[in-house]
Every structure is written in structure tokens, then in C-alpha cells.
Amino acid sequence: MADVTTAQDVVTYRESVAEGIAREMRRDPTVVCLGEDIGAAGGVFKTTVGLFDEFGPERVWDTPISEQAIVGAAMGAAMTGMRPVAEIMFSDFLACCWDYLANEIPKVRYMTGGQVTVPLVIRTANGGGLGFGAQHSQSVENWALTVPGLKIAAPSTPADVVGLMASAVRSDDPVVFFEHKGLFASKGAPAPDGHVVPFGEAAVLRQGTDVTLVALASTVPMALTAADRLAAEGVEAEVLDLRCLIPLDVTAVLRSVERTSRLVVVEENPYQGGWGATVVSVVADEGFELLDAPVKRVAGANVPLPFADALEDQVIPTVDKVVDTVRSLATY
């Protein structure tokens, strides 16, 4: 009998955010949530729907419109035995609480000689492609990447949202959890019961022999679509979803490049200082002899992101840009 797919076989990325948090709140009574409009309203992106109804105001806290208050309160709660999951509505607004995120939270464990940990998660909606403009569209994983002491997760599928959320909440170190706005409506298989994705384990989503496409979050489905188009031209691309930036699965990247001998990194960060530059530098240091062609990066342009869709498409990665870049390497 042929398999029959039903609505229950798929869930959205946004639903999986709430599900991942709920699973951890059921498992551990010290887990609490805080942020703007995350309670009865269910979050501005509807990523916390149902949490307030299930856990109540004692564990789901609506906050004032103050990123410093949200992250500062989360830091204090984490230092005194709780495991807060704090939401910063747009990742652009991490700049408003950057002292806590860069100078306070990641330093506590080291400066106390391990006597005090800060087990918190800062969730935030990240990235462009939706015409939200220059102050609400940035992809800022590279900001956090510059700060020693932070872990960084950026899932691309509903199941990985749940699995990485489990690892994030259970971590004794602070985690910045980037949820891409452009993926919220995307659908995929639901996470199985007890699903945990360990940090620092990239996933090979498509095997290939001609070129490695390293991607993260929204650029993962982009890379997969590009790989399908390239396959029609006889070019077999391997697609690697990093899933995390810290810890970074360097081994998976090098193993893939060993198979394909070519590397293209697809990132939404600006080309100047993007996370892809770190990946490329590691490959140059540790895997230069594996390469048969120059390494290429498909990245965002170094400009403020425009509102207009036609203009925004010019300055962020697209499938066409990935395909054109790979074609330039295929005959090198």
C-alpha cells in the first residue's frame, strides 16, 4: 500500500519553536520564558502560542519593551538557579542589550572560576527576505560569533528547532538561538519524542561529489534548491547544514571538501565579517591541499537592507547566485 501523507505528518517551523520550549518546560520546572507579548498574545511571530495557557503567568512572563530589562532579568534568574528562555523580538535589537550579551553573560563562568553558571537561552527572529527594512532584517549571527563564551544555534527545519532547543535549554553555558523569519511558515516532519540534536554536529542533507555547499538556517533550503538545479546540468553538489556556529563542526566541513574538492559557503551575513569567512579560513588552514579550486562565498552585500523586494533580492543570497557561483567553479 502506498504511503499516505496527512496534515499530522508535517508541522511548521513556528509551531516547532513553541513545541520545543514546551517540551523543556514540562521536563524541567526551572525553565521559564520571558519577552515582549509572549504570553496570551502568543508572540509577535506566534512562536509561543499555547505556552501561557499551559504554564501560566508564573512561568511565562510578559515584559516591558526593554531589551536590557529582558536580558538582565534573564541573567539574574539564570545565576540563581533557573533556566530562562528570553525572547528578543528581532535580532537587530540585540544591539540594545549588547553589554549584557557580550560583556556580562558570557564572562561570568570564567570570572567566577566556574562557581557560577549562566544557563540561559536568548531566542531571536533573524534575517531578511521579507521586506522588513534595514532595522528589522539583518542577519546577525556574526555579531555573536565574535564573543567568546556564547554558543550559537540556527536551525533550518522544524525537527531541528525542537532538537536544538533541547540542547540549548539544557546547556550550562549561554546560547543565542537564531530563528529565521523567512522559515517560520516552512513545513517539515515533526520531531520525535525525546528528540535532542547535540550542538556541534552538522548534517549532510544531500550527498554529492563535485562541490560542497555549506549553509545555515534560511540558506539551507536555498542550497538544496540550487543543488537540484545543478544536478540537471550534471553537477552533483553536497549540501551541509551547519546547524550551529559555536561549536562549529569543522570535521564535517573538511570531510565533505575531501570528497568534493570544491567549497562554496552560502550565508546571509554581510560578506564583510560574515561567519562564512571563519569557515573559509579554517579550510584554508587545515584543508588547503584538499582543494582543486578557489573557495567562494555567496553572502549578503555590505549595505543596509532595502524595503523593496526587488532591491532586497539584489543584496541577499539567492538560488541564482549560488548556481552561478558553482558553475564558475565546476570547470576550473
Per-residue pLDDT tens digits for 142-171? 999 999 999 999 999 999 999 999 999 999
- Please determine whether the domains at 10-188 and 203-330 fall in the same fold group of CATH: yes
Give residues with Cβ within 8 angstroms of 87, minimum separation 6. Answer: 33, 34, 35, 36, 38, 43, 47, 48, 70, 122, 123, 124
Sort strands 187-188 and 11-12 into parallel, antiparallel or unpaired: antiparallel
Instruction: Enter the pTM of the model.
Output: 0.96
Burial class (CB in 10 A: 0-12, 13-18, 19+), 10: middle
195 an active-site residue? no
Tell me the mean pLDDT in the region 303-317: 95
User: What pLDDT sits at residue 330?
Assistant: 84
Residue listed under C-alpha cell 530562562: 84
Sort strands 244-246 and 151-153 into parallel, antiparallel or unpaired: antiparallel
Burial class (CB in 10 A: 0-12, 13-18, 19+), 3: exposed
Query: Is residue 126 within 8 Å of residue 177, measured between CB atoms?
Result: no
Per-residue pLDDT tens digits for 96-133? 999 999 999 999 999 999 999 999 999 999 999 999 99
User: What pLDDT sits at residue 183?
Assistant: 98
Give residues with Cβ within 8 angstroms of 65, minimum separation 6. Answer: 36
Q: Show the cell assigned to 184.
A: 517560520
Q: Is the pLDDT of residue 2 over 80?
A: no
Per-residue pLDDT tens digits for 191-223? 999 999 999 999 999 999 999 999 999 999 999
Q: Is the pLDDT of residue 255 over 60?
A: yes
Q: Is the pLDDT of residue 181 over 80?
A: yes
Q: Is the pLDDT of residue 1 over 70?
A: no
Confidence of residue 81 (pLDDT cuts 50, 70, 90): very high
- Counting residues of the chain whose pLDDT is more than 70, the rounded percentage is 98
> 59, 109, 123, 136: which one is catalytic?
136
Give residues with Cβ within 8 angstroms of 8, minimum separation 6. Answer: none
305 φ, ψ (degrees, to nearest 5):
-75, 130
User: What pLDDT sits at residue 8?
Assistant: 64
Confidence of residue 3 (pLDDT cuts 50, 70, 90): very low
Query: Is residue 128 within 8 Å of residue 183, measured between CB atoms?
Result: no
Tell me the mean pLDDT in the region 47-59: 98
What letters, b where the CB count within 10 A reaches 16 and e where it falls short, cover 284-310? eeebeebbebebbbbbbeeeebbeeee
User: What pLDDT sits at residue 305?
Assistant: 95
User: What pLDDT sits at residue 7?
Assistant: 54
Topology of domain 10-188, per CATH?
Rossmann fold (3.40.50)
What element of type H or E holds 54? helix 51-55
Domain boundaries, the chain: 10-188, 203-330
User: What pLDDT sits at residue 5?
Assistant: 42
Provide the CB-side half-sphere exposure for 215 (13 A, CA): 30
For domain 203-330, give the CATH number: 3.40.50.920
Q: Show the cell assigned to 140.
A: 546577525
Tell me the mean pLDDT in the region 302-307: 95
